[in-house]
A and B are shown apart, each in its own frame.
Chain A
Amino acid sequence: RKEVEQDPGPFNVPEGATVAFNCTYSNSASQSFFWYRQDCRKEPKLLMSVYSSGNEDGRFTAQLNRASQYISLLIRDSKLSDSATYLCAPLGDKLIFGTGTRLQVFP
């Protein structure tokens, strides 16, 4: 089993849609979790940090299920500018990135 698994997508959604991504991780010692977004040919940028059961920031909600070892990212009211690859990253003794889920929002 890979350390961090994500559905690669792409998820193609219209503007205004709600979309959710899941991420599963194998290291049960992971204490905190992070979502990064990466635009094409750009560097990853931190989107959200999750230290407890979840976090919400505007249109973005992350939820953590430690028992099942997965975290999710929900994006409401999608914008064209949300088009990117979303990388899940649990922190154990080091930060490991998942393969990423590609989101394409169309008009």
Chain B
Amino acid sequence: DTEVTQTPKHLVMGMTNKKSLKCEQHMGHRAMYWYKQKAKKPPELMFVYSYEKLSINESVPSRFSPECPNSSLLNLHLHALQPEDSALYLCASSQGARTGELFFGEGSRLTVL
């Protein structure tokens, strides 16, 4: 079982809705990540938080808004999404931001109608 917990596992939302994806880890990791993965594609990096500060934003549209309330929690706030935003959203954590040894959650599968 993964030690990174994501909720909800599935989410269906309309283009006018506001929703949030949540991620939690209790491994004492200081870096947390959001990746987006479409079918048959690799995970694409969206955001990196290091010591609760946003360190990388991969030019993600503002309809995706990350938040890191503390070192164990990472949220992704969603607003006015488009159908093409439907994907698997993966949260990951690592001991530090300069490592490639990431622990992924099971993901939140998002469908935008």
Residues of A within 8 A of B (CB): 32-34, 42-46, 49, 87, 89-91, 94-100
Q: A87-B42, A95-B45, A100-B42 are in contact. Are A43 and B101 (CB under 8 A)?
A: no
Q: Is the CB of B100 within 8 A of A43?
A: no
Q: Given contacts A43-B90, A43-B106, is CB(A91)–CB(B42) below 8 Å?
A: no
Chain A interface secondary structure, helix, strand, loop or mixed? strand
Number of A-B contacts defined by CB within 8 Å: 43
Q: Secondary structure of the B side of the interface?
A: loop
Q: Which residues of B contact A96 (CB under 8 A)?
A: 45
Number of residues in B with C-beta < 8 Å to the partner? 19
Chain B residues within CB distance 8 Å of chain A? 2, 41-45, 48, 56, 90, 98-107
A67 CA to B2 CA, complexed, in Å: 36
Contact partner of B43 (CB less than 8 A), chosen from A32, A44, A91, is A44
